[in-house]
Amino acid sequence: MLLRDNRGNDMQGTQTVEKNELLDELSGRCDYYSTLPSIYRLGSSVFWDEADGEKRSVVVRHCNIIDSGFWDQHPEIIESQ
């Protein structure tokens, strides 16, 4: 059971499965979460990116930073200070 508090923490303490079931119920669509654009599923990561040693630029990506593939592609994030 979800209880609303004054801070709007409706989903605090619920598991991912419960949240997805609630989204399906509210939207009327099965597997609604997977149909959302990545910006809403993964959030935004902002970091410096270098293109072949040229000027660095700030980029915004909507990607899974938990996945090791992200860190394989962007080792400079950890290596830089």
Q: From CA 22, how far away is CA 16, in angstroms rounded?
A: 10
Say if 58 falls within a structural domain: yes
**Average pLDDT of the residues of the chain:** 79
Domain that residue 45 falls in? 40-79
Q: What is the pLDDT of residues 8-45, one digit of tens each?
A: 566 677 788 888 888 888 888 888 888 888 888 888 88
Please report the pLDDT score of residue 1 as a whole number. 44
Question: Alpha helix (H) ranges present in the chain?
Answer: 16-27, 32-35, 38-42, 68-73, 76-79
Residue 21 resides in a domain: no
Q: Does residue 2 lie within any of the structural domains?
A: no
Confidence of residue 81 (pLDDT cuts 50, 70, 90): low
* Helices and strands in the chain: count of H runs, count of E runs: 5, 2
Q: Please give the pLDDT value at position 14.
A: 78
Instruction: Name the percent of the chain in helix, strand, coil, to the closest 5.
Output: 40, 15, 45
On whether residue 24 sits in a domain, the answer given is no
**How many distinct structural domains can be found in the chain?**
1
